[in-house]
Structure 1
Amino acid sequence: MRRTLFPSRETRPGGGPRRRRAPGPTRFLAVLGAVLTGAVLLTAALFLLLGGAGSPGGATGTPAGSATSGRDVDRVVGQLVSVFENGTPEIQYAYVEDLDDGRGYTAGRAGFCTACGDLLTVVDRYTAQVPDNALAGYVPTLKALAASFSDSTSDLDGFPDAWRSAAADPEFRQVQDEVTDELYVAPARTLADANGVSSPLGLAALVDTAVQHGTQDGPDGLPDLVRRTNADMGGSPADGIDESEWLRGFLDIRRATLENPSSSATSEVWGESVGRVDALDALLDAGNLDLDTPFTVDPWGDPQTIG
């Protein structure tokens, strides 16, 4: 899939995941490289084939027996990740901020960034659909920044206002949903299906890990965490391992990775993010594998209700 096209964030300039300064919880996101055309086409095909679980409006065409069959959990998964990312279940399409973290502007529902290529993907696609938009004039600069992984914002005067203005357009919000689905949700669903992870909570755990750790091959990426879990558990749910026990093992490995990542540059901010894992563990302890709503999560000392 996309793994070889998006190197681990640890190999990028700027080090580890981004940290939101105030107010609300620490903010983290996997850093994605500049998006190549072939990767976009491939992930779009996966999106059409498998459906997307990141869009609040819900996906269609989900295969029977998959993690989202029987009912629509897209909204719930999206809200849960939003709590982990932004401290609120309300999807933050208009969010934009320079976090001084080596990635330029961070913006939108999934923390797309100007130095990483994923924000360019959003703006490029939106401009193809709506040529006369407030962000269109920034495309050449965004391409240059993504190509060099530059965190410079000196040539982006007025960009935050333009992003917030575009976020009022339902078409722009839909583009954000699509790109989130392609970059995070489709790879997570593929791994869920391949490993027999069929519960909504299992899907949510993999999607959130994709958002924070990335979907690339590497010692801290989602695929490697799944492989390590399978090795530790002697298989996956597809091999007959109890899904609850497998998820507990997966979350233990994710917590250990956050506390001791392969790159020392990420250790401080990742160590502060274990509340994400604690919140997922609490749902598992409560037996809420179906993510039955309403439920409350408290990753950052500020309980949020989803439902």
Structure 2
Amino acid sequence: MITPENKKKILQIVNVFETGTPEGKYDAIAIFPDGKGGSRQITYGRSQTTEQGNLRNLLERYISLGGSFSAAFQPFMSQVGRVPLVDNKEFKQLLKDSAKEDPRMRIAQDETFEILYYQPAVHFFNGEGFTLPLSLLVIYDSYIHSGSIPGFLRTRFAERTPLRGGDEKVWIEEYTKARQNWLATHKRKILHATAVRPKTYLAQMAKGNWDLSAPVTTQGVTIP
């Protein structure tokens, strides 16, 4: 059973990878050439949603909550995800200001990341018969960073999920190794540095920290 304390720690660990702090930097903006065809795009917020991905969804949620910057965002809504805004200073400043000054942007981010990433991760976790907190951390991180548990990675090892008669710890370790290798050798070199994520989880497996009761240190930050 995943407790509220387990969930909090899982989110904190992933937040460190995303924006460098356990709490997450809601106003964080980064620009990466990881969009369609290698195009530059904005990544934003606590869990770094992308301009060409779910940023529009996030802003629609913020506006529906009556955010105080809603009117300022409206002229951009028809462009988000369709017209590049990566070099639009006004739009990027709105993203930063709304996260710093309006609690409803932080609420919108929390709700968006919960609905689009955490809940689907839990659905896979429960549906395939997993039970351990470290397993959910690996699965959630994959949803946040890769959007899912990619099917092509699952074909790279033989172990089955617990639902299908496999061993939970073996499946999670084999999946994490496959994901680490994929990230470390990806043709898009920008992904190479992110192999530290599965590397961190493999280290926790080696320590036997499957219940996440022991502190986890990564990127110079310790989550107790």
1:85 to 8, 13, 18: 18
Q: Do the aligned partners of 1:104 and 1:151 also contact (CA within 8 Å) in 2?
A: yes
CA shift in 2, pair 1:169/1:74, >3 Å:
farther
What does residue 181 of structure 2 align with? 256
In the superposition, the TM-score normalised over structure 1's length comes to: 0.64
Q: Do the aligned partners of 2:49 and 2:55 also contact (CA within 8 Å) in 1?
A: yes
* Offset, 1:212: 1.4
CA shift in 2, pair 1:136/1:157, >3 Å:
farther
2: CA distance between counterparts of 1:304 and 1:153? 30
* Offset, 1:103: 4.2
The yes-or-no answer on 1:232 pairing with 2:125 is: no
List aligned pairs for 1:263-302, cutoff 5 A: 264=187, 266=188, 268-293=189-214, 295-298=215-218, 302=219
2: CA distance between counterparts of 1:180 and 1:238? 26
Q: Do the aligned partners of 1:105 and 1:153 also contact (CA within 8 Å) in 2?
A: yes
1: CA distance between counterparts of 2:21 and 2:127? 31
* Offset, 1:284: 0.8
* Offset, 1:112: 1.9
The yes-or-no answer on 1:109 pairing with 2:46 is: yes
Paired letter, 1:73: N
Unaligned runs of 5+ in 2: none
Paired letter, 2:130: V
2: CA distance between counterparts of 1:127 and 1:136? 8
Q: Do the aligned partners of 1:79 and 1:91 also contact (CA within 8 Å) in 2?
A: yes
Q: Is the helix fraction higher in 1 or 2?
A: 2
CA shift in 2, pair 1:153/1:252, >3 Å:
closer
SS of structure 2 residue aligned to 1:158: helix
* Offset, 1:165: 2.4
Bigger shift: 77-86 or 133-142? 133-142
In the superposition, the TM-score normalised over structure 2's length comes to: 0.86
List aligned pairs for 1:162-181, cutoff 5 A: 162-167=94-99, 168-181=101-114
SS of structure 2 residue aligned to 1:72: helix
1:127 to 56, 63, 78: 63
The yes-or-no answer on 1:160 pairing with 2:92 is: yes
Paired letter, 2:106: R
What does residue 194 of structure 1 align with? 127
- Cα RMSD after superposing both structures: 2.3
Q: Which has the higher contact order (CA 8 A, sep 6+)?
A: 1
Q: Percent identity?
A: 26
2: CA distance between counterparts of 1:107 and 1:193? 29
> For 1:55-92, what per-residue CA distance to the aligned partner results, in whole angstroms no more than 9, with x for missing partners?
xxxxxxxxxx4xx2x44322111111112122322311
Q: Do the aligned partners of 1:296 and 1:306 also contact (CA within 8 Å) in 2?
A: yes
Paired letter, 1:108: G
Paired letter, 1:160: K
* Offset, 1:135: 4.7
Q: Do the aligned partners of 1:120 and 1:139 also contact (CA within 8 Å) in 2?
A: no
**Count of residue pairs brought into register by the alignment:** 219
Q: Do the aligned partners of 1:296 and 1:303 also contact (CA within 8 Å) in 2?
A: no
Paired letter, 1:275: V
* Offset, 1:225: 5.3
Unaligned runs of 5+ in 1: 1-64, 216-221
* Offset, 1:283: 0.8
Q: Do the aligned partners of 2:55 and 2:80 also contact (CA within 8 Å) in 1?
A: no
Q: Do the aligned partners of 1:120 and 1:143 also contact (CA within 8 Å) in 2?
A: no
2: CA distance between counterparts of 1:157 and 1:271? 29
* Offset, 1:176: 0.3
SS of structure 2 residue aligned to 1:297: strand
Paired letter, 1:113: T
